[in-house]
Amino acid sequence: MGVEGGVTAAERVLCREEDIAEGTARGFAAAPGGFTGLFAVKKEGRIHVYVNSCPHVGLPLDMMPHRFLDAKRQTIICSAHGARFRIADGICVTGPCIGEALEAVPHRIVEGQIVVPAAAGL
Ligand code: FES
């Protein structure tokens, strides 16, 4: 997609990879002109990025900012009605949208920064 080693005009930087501690998540505002934010989770050293919209009725998952994981940090949880999603692939494993999935966002790491397509979430 982009130029190796550089962030292109078609991408945006979310944050530095090291800004997300292992087993935690962080939310990001919508891109300019958009309404839907993104969030990223770090699990076992890997970053997973999803659109912050629950497949149940489209609400943001975090009623409290950055609160995307259950107490044991094993699944992503939607605070609206309690749907739980696998961190690795965003599939809903329990709750009202079981079998549906969060929208995964492709990302790459550029000089320690998490970079996603600028249009992600639009
Ligand atoms: S909006 Fe997420 S479970 Fe209902």
User: In the numeric block, which tokens belong to residue 27?
Assistant: 């939310």
Residue 79 has pLDDT above 60, yes or no: yes
Each domain of the chain, given as residue ranges in start order, spans: 11-117
Nearest CA to ligand 1 atom 4: 81
Task: Render 66-79 in DSSP notation, one character per residue.
Answer: T--B-TTSSEEE-T
- pLDDT one-digit tens code per residue, 59-76: 999 999 999 999 999 999
Class of domain 11-117: mainly beta
Distance (Å, rounded) from C-alpha 23 to C-alpha 31?
A: 25
Indicate whether 82 pLDDT > 70: yes
Distance 78 CA to ligand 1 centre (A): 6
Residue 41 to residues 48, 69, 97, 116, 119, Cα–Cα distance (Å): 5, 9, 20, 14, 19
The alpha carbon of 60 and the centre of ligand 1 are apart by a number of angstroms equal to: 8
Q: Ligand 1: residues within 6 Å at CB?
A: 54, 56-57, 59, 78, 80-81, 83, 95-96
DSSP 5-32: TS--TTEEEEEEGGGS-TT-EEEEPPPT
Residue 4 — pLDDT band, cuts 50, 70, 90? Answer: low
